[in-house]
Structure 1
Amino acid sequence: MKRKSKWFKLTPPRVFAGGFALIIAVGTLLLSLPAAAVSGEATPWVDALFTATSATCVTGLLVVDTGTYFTKFGQVVILILVQLGGLGFMTTVTWFAIAMKKRISLRDRLMLKESMNLLGIEGVVRLIMKVLIYSVVIESFAALYFAYRLSQEMPLGHALYYGVFHAISLFNNAGFELFGGFRNLTPYVADWGINLVSMLLILFGGIGFIVLSELVDYPSSRRLSLHSKVVLTATGILTLLSALLIFIFEYTNARTLGPLSLDTKILASLFQAITLRSAGVNTIDITGLRSATQFLMVIMMFIGAAPGSTGGGIKLTTFVILVGAVLTMVRGKQDMVLFRYRVPKRDIYKATTFSLLGLFCLVLSTMALSTVQGQDFLMILFEAASAFGTVGLSAGLTPELGFAGKINIIVMMYIGRVGLITLAFALQPKLKKDSYRYPEGKLTIG
């Protein structure tokens, strides 16, 4: 009995991982109902599970076309899953608790800290309330703009529905869209308004609520934390570098940037670079990209978005710490310093662990997919990286996945959203602390 209690103790990682699993289970049940499909027939459970996981893990990989396969009921279910998945299970529960005037206990605060990837519990409830305000304001303004723009080509009521759906999907970096035919935003590649608003939504969702909160408070506080400085700097550098490389690689490609005007080529390159953070929407044909561009995207999707955001991957801060550790070693320095702050050794160990576990999962998933799917290796790697990074871009493989391939991608999306370390802690019966230390040994490295 005592052993059983170790497994069923509700630790923060277990609540976080279990909350996502519960949302996915409910979403699967609703999406498998005949009322959710245009055909009036029950959706196969594996397709319903895949769609529910993709929505809850805010990924956007699709085995069926959202705009043509699902009814309004099914689309609304997907939208709710996206919102719950993007903001988090514990965040939503806390909002209801505050609305019911319930006290937020220390245990609840610890769980919120885990779900938001915070360093401590100080100010966590205040941040949760800011998340609600920021989400409502940003999504509302974006929805109104999309509705205004789309009303020029469809009835107002239809445009308003599309506006709300795409504002929520883009802000939560989910990648679901309703235009049909797996076209995504390709019809609007030259539309500066839709592109700019979409990119802002993706960036706001991808940098995380911690950074967003500090940016809003910056005019009065005049300060940013080390976390925000690293996230904003890394986002800027990786986005500009990716945009430049995409522009160079695809400049003459007749299937992507080739036929476009110079200003549209720049806009499309920047959009694709930003969407790699975790958004899963595209304005050019991903299947038509050159191999060099697709491999660049694999690297960027593996890095992912910021901690505490709606994105997956190993996270921006992890990548920065890895690069910083390499530069520190090459320069012969003892301490790694970022913005005049020394990075603790434990953070370097943590970043290394994240990266290696992520690489192991990506390699294992790619090998398994290569065994059951007969497509090109780069296409398979692209899809696995997209699932792990919860990005949602597809090189064309996902709609052709068999049963084993769908299960593979489902697992990768869940791991990418929940996080490898959180999942590992959730599965541990009990954390053990060593009562002794071994003598230090020396190894030859390099």
Structure 2
Amino acid sequence: SRQILKEQLNLDTFSGIIRLLKYVIAFTFSVEGIGALFLATRFVPRFGWLKGIWYSIFQAISAFCNAGFDNLGDSIYPWREDPVVNITIMALVVIGGLGFLVTKEILQKRKFKILSVHGKLVLTITGILIFFGALFFFILEYSNPETLGNESFGVQVGQSFFQSVIARTAGFYSVPIGSLRDSSAFLLIILMFIGGSPGSTAGGLKTTTFGVLILSTISTIKGEKDPVAFNKQIGSGTIRKALALVVVGLLLVISVSFLLTITEKASFIDLVFETVSAYGTVGLSKGISPDLTTFGKLMITLTMYAGRVGPLTLGFAISNRTNPSKLHYPEANIAIG
């Protein structure tokens, strides 16, 4: 229905939904087609025309849709030294994770300073997460012989950026995820929980939700009344919605992780990793999924479903409050912190 499209594409009104949907279809096929052509330059010489083209199309669609499904067998690991494959996959994942409204705005306006506050915030938070995610991943893993330790400096840097991009809901891997240090796994947990941007093919908490809470926290620390983003005030309703999404996400992850620690034999960090990966619809795994009990597999499955549908359902509940309560209660002062 139009209501579902409105929420899925992060629209405020119903106007222009069909026109935007036509753009989404055309843009999706165009980007995936270009990505498939780049991948074909590597896959066709390796696998032949038929398999090479099929693998190229499959990987391009999987990357743009932030799915992470792999028909090569070992994901991108055998291609970790190939810049064309890595850059193409990363570009598709990032573009797919920005959101269709943002990509349309970029194509129309082409200048950062005239983008909407939403577009600026999405691009800024995305850039920060990619850069600092790659930086910390490199610092934590460059001496690990089972991941980056035996690679050249260029490959180490490239794979650090690759995993930083991919962790935010795509699910490909270019290093053995099961061999990561606990600190690196925790870094990926943070990135997976944040995820991509609203109205995109990505899952997770969403970059704008994270950005709004950070700006709100900064304004509170500085003693300012209202948080500001790019010289525009962030509404209290937006802040409440962001807070609600974070609380729901954290409660879900904490609850499922707690239950898994009771029924499963894996380490705590591995169980949290699997849970957050499911919540963010990422698909990365520390390799324990096949060994989970039936209950554990069921919980991971339900978490995947809740991670995809839960925030959207909450959005419906918030946006459909057409008859707000007319009662106004007196304020109460509660000690915080």
SS of the aligned residue for 2:169 comes to coil
Structure 2 counterpart of 1:176: 69
Deviant stretches of 4+, over 4 Å: 423-426, 429-432
Q: Which residue in 2 is equivalent to 1:312?
A: 203
Moved more, 408-417 or 110-119: 110-119
Flag the 1:249–1:188 CA change in 2: closer, same or farther, 3 A.
Answer: same
With normalisation by structure 1, the TM-score equals 0.72
After TM superposition, give the deviation of residue 196 of structure 1 in Å. 0.4
Q: Which amino acid aligns with 2:175?
A: I
User: Separation in 2 of the partners of 1:396 and 1:139?
Assistant: 29
**C-alpha separation in 1, matches of 2:234 and 2:155:** 41
Counterpart in 1 of 2:290?
399
Q: What is the correspondence of 1:214-233 to structure 2 with a 5 Å cutoff?
A: 214-219=105-110, 223-233=114-124
How does 1:82-93 map onto structure 2 within 5 Å? Answer: none
SS in 1 for 2:11: coil
Determine if contact 1:177/1:184 at 8 Å carries over to the other structure: yes
Give the Å deviation of 1:419.
3.3
Shift of 1:148: 2.6
Q: 1:302 to 1:221 in 2, by over 3 A?
A: closer
| 1:356 match | 247
1:161 maps onto 2:49 in alignment: no
Deviation readout 1:282-312 (Å, 9 max, x if unpaired): 1111111111000011111111110111112
SS at match of 2:47: coil
Residue type at the aligned position of 1:122: S
Q: Between 218-227 and 310-319, report the one with greater CA deviation.
A: 218-227
Q: Post-superposition shift, 1:435?
A: 3.6
- Distance in 1 of aligned mates of 2:242 and 2:71: 37
Q: Distance in 2 between matches of 1:154 and 1:435?
A: 67
**Which residue of structure 1 lines up, in the alignment, with residue 183 of structure 2?**
292
Q: Could you tell me which residue of structure 2 aligns to residue 303 of structure 1?
A: 194
SS in 2 for 1:151: helix
Task: Quote the offset at 1:121 in angstroms.
Answer: 2.3
> What amino acid does structure 2 have at the position aligned with 1:332?
G
Alpha-carbon distance in 2 for matches of 1:285, 1:261:
17
What whole-Å deviation, never above 9, does each CA across 1:239-279 have from its counterpart, x for those lacking one? 10000000000011000000100001000000000012211
Corresponding residue for residue 110 of structure 1: 3
Q: Which has the larger radius of gyration?
A: 1
2:33 to 131, 136, 140: 140
Q: Distance in 1 between matches of 2:146 and 2:61?
A: 30
Q: Does the Cα contact within 8 Å between 1:322 and 1:348 map onto a contact in 2?
A: yes
Contact 1:247-1:266 within 8 A present in 2 as well: yes
Trace 1:362-373 onto structure 2 (pairs within 5 A).
Answer: 362-373=253-264
Alignment of 1:46-65 (within 5 A): none
Q: Secondary structure at the match of 2:251?
A: helix
The answer to whether the 8 Å contact 1:311/1:417 transfers is no
Matched, 1:204 2:95: yes
Aligned to 2:43: 150
Following the alignment from structure 2 to structure 1, what is the Cα–Cα distance between the partners of residues 110 and 244?
37
* SS of residue in 2 equivalent to 1:419: helix
Partner of 2:161: 270
Unaligned stretches of 5+ in structure 1? 1-107
Tell me which of 120, 135, 147 is aligned to 1:256: 147
The Cα shift of 1:430 comes to 9.1
1:383 maps onto 2:274 in alignment: yes
Using a 3 Å threshold, how does the CA distance of structure 1 residues 240 and 336 change in structure 2: closer, same or farther?
same
Contact kept? 1:336, 1:342, Cα under 8 Å: yes
Opposite residue 135 of structure 1, the aligned amino acid is T
**What's the counterpart of residue 21 of structure 2?**
128
Per-residue displacement from partner, 1:185-239 (whole Å, max 9, x unpaired)? Answer: 1111111000000000000111111111111112499731111100000000111
- Distance change >3 Å, CA 145–CA 424, structure 1 → 2: closer
Over residues 151-187 of structure 1, what are the superposed CA-to-partner deviations in whole Å (9 max), with x where a residue is unaligned? Answer: 121121011111111111111000000122xx21111
Q: One-letter code of the match for 1:223?
A: I
Identity of aligned residues (%): 38
* CA–CA distance in structure 2, aligned partners of residues 164 and 281 of structure 1: 15
The residue identity in structure 1 corresponding to 2:17 is V
Q: Tell me which residue corresponds to 2:224.
A: 333
Within-5 A mapping of 1:236-251 = 236-251=127-142
Q: Quote the offset at 1:399 in angstroms.
A: 2.3
Q: Does structure 1 retain, via aligned residues, the 8 Å contact 2:135–2:160?
A: yes
1:322 maps to 213
Q: Could you tell me whether the CA contact under 8 Å between 1:277 and 1:305 is conserved in 2? A: yes
The residue type paired with residue 118 of structure 1 is L
The aligned amino acid for 1:434 is S
Pair 1:396–1:444, CA change in 2 (3 A): same
Greater relative contact order (Cα < 8 A, sep 6+): 1
Deviation track 1:317-357 (CA, whole Å, cap 9, x = no partner) reads: 11111111110011111111000000011111111111011
Residues in 1 aligned to 2:161 and 2:45: alpha-carbon distance in whole angstroms:
26
Contact 2:253 2:275 (C-alpha < 8 Å) held by counterparts: yes
- CA RMSD of the aligned region, Å? 2.0
Instruction: Give the number of equivalent residue pairs.
Output: 336
List runs of 5+ in structure 2 lacking aligned partners: none
Contact 1:189-1:264 within 8 A present in 2 as well: yes
1:338-349 alignment, distance < 5 Å: 338-349=229-240
Three-state SS of the structure 1 residue aligned to 2:31 is helix
Per the TM alignment, residue 433 of structure 1 is displaced from its structure 2 partner at its CA by 3.6
Cα separation, 2, equivalents of 1:173 and 1:277: 9
1:415–1:423 CA contact under 8 A, matched in 2 = no
Tell me if the contact between 2:8 and 2:312 (Cα under 8 Å) persists in the aligned partners: no
1:375, CA displacement in angstroms? 0.4
